[in-house]
Amino acid sequence: MARLSPILKEVLVHLFKKPATRKYPEEKPHVPEGFRGRQVFDISLCISCGLCARDCPAEAIEMVEVDGKLRPLFHLDRCIFCYQCAESCPRNAIKSSGIFELAAKNKSDLVVKPKTNHTSAGGSQ
């Protein structure tokens, strides 16, 4: 007869332990550095090369004209957060943040327009 399965004791022990579920949204998870969340675009570094739009695998970046120059517009509903745009940018104008709560009630909230003299992405925060 095989020896007793270790799960018999394990289940009893767990009856008295705190559950492993994290009570989101009261408890927020720990977001590590380098997490690929919502993009942060620094317009002062942009040189309008358009490499980000060309390399995006999901065609989520559109170059639009702002104040006479071409700037990237991010469609967050198409974005796959691969950050190829950040890699292709020769001036490091696109960086990642830890924001992952991106649910929105209408599509226009998910379009991030480049604004002049802003160091954070425009649209709704």
Partner 1 sequence: MSLDLAFLLRVLIFPGLTFILFLTMFCDWVERKIEARMQNRMGPTYTGPAGVFQPFADFIKLLTKEDIVPFNVRDFVFRLAPILSFSIFAFAFVFLPIDGVSVVSNSNFEGDLVLVLTLVSIANFFLFLSGWSSINPYSATGAARVLTQFLGYDIPLFILALAPAFLAKSLSISKIAASQFIPFAFVVPWVFVLFIITLQAELEKDPFDIPHAETEIVGGYETEYTGRRLAFLKLSKDVQIVLGAAIAVELFLGGPHGPVFYGPSAFWCTLWFVLKLLVVIVLTEYLTCVFARLRIDQALVINWKLILPLSLLSLVAAVGVGLWLYPLR
Partner 2 sequence: MNTDKILEALSNALGDGILQTRTLRPEKVCVQVKVGAHRDAVKVLLNQDGNAGISAITGVDLGKTIELMYHIRTCNTIITISVNLTKENAKIESIADLIPGANFHEREVSDLFGVTFEGHPNPGRLILPEDWPENVFPLRKDFVALNFQSKMENSEALKDNGRHSIDERLVNIVFGPQHPALIEPEKFTLKVDGEVVKEVKPRIGYVHRGIEKAAENRTYLQDIYLVERICGICNACHAACFCQTVEAIMGVDVPPRARYLRTIILELNRIHSHMLLLGHAGFEIGYETLFHYMWRDRERVLDITEELTGNRIVASFITIGGVRRDLKEDVISRINAELETLKGRMNFYRQLFEGDSTLKMRTKNVGILSRQDALRLCVVGPVARGSGVDMDVRRDEPYAAYNEVPFKVITYDEGDSWARLMVRLDEIVESINIIQYALEHLPSGPYRVRVPRIVPAGEAIGRVEAPRGELFYYVKSNGTASPERVKVRTPTFANILAFVKIAEGGNIADVPASFVSLDPCFSCTDR
CB of 22 to partner 1, least distance (A): 10
Asked if 21 is part of the footprint of partner 1 (rule: CB under 8 A), the reply reads: yes
Burial class (CB in 10 A: 0-12, 13-18, 19+), 40: middle
- Note whether 17 binds partner 1 by CB under 8 A: yes
Beta strand pairing call for 111-112 and 39-41: unpaired
Say whether residue 8 binds partner 1 (CB under 8 A): yes
> Is residue 35 part of the contact set for partner 2 (CB under 8 A)?
yes
Q: Read off the tokens for 32.
A: 């590590």
Residue 11 interacting with partner 2 (CB under 8 A): yes
**What does the alpha-carbon distance between residue 13 and residue 29 come to, in Å, rounded to a whole number?**
26
Decide: is 12 part of the binding site for partner 2 (CB under 8 A).
no
DSSP per residue, 67-111: TTEEEEEEETTT-----HHHHH-TT--EEE-S------SSGGGGE
Q: Does 10 bind partner 2 (CB under 8 A)?
A: yes
Binding footprint of partner 1 on the chain (CB under 8 A)? 5, 7-8, 11-12, 14-15, 17, 19-21, 23
Binding footprint of partner 2 on the chain (CB under 8 A)? 2-7, 10-11, 20, 32, 34-36, 55-58, 80-84, 87, 96
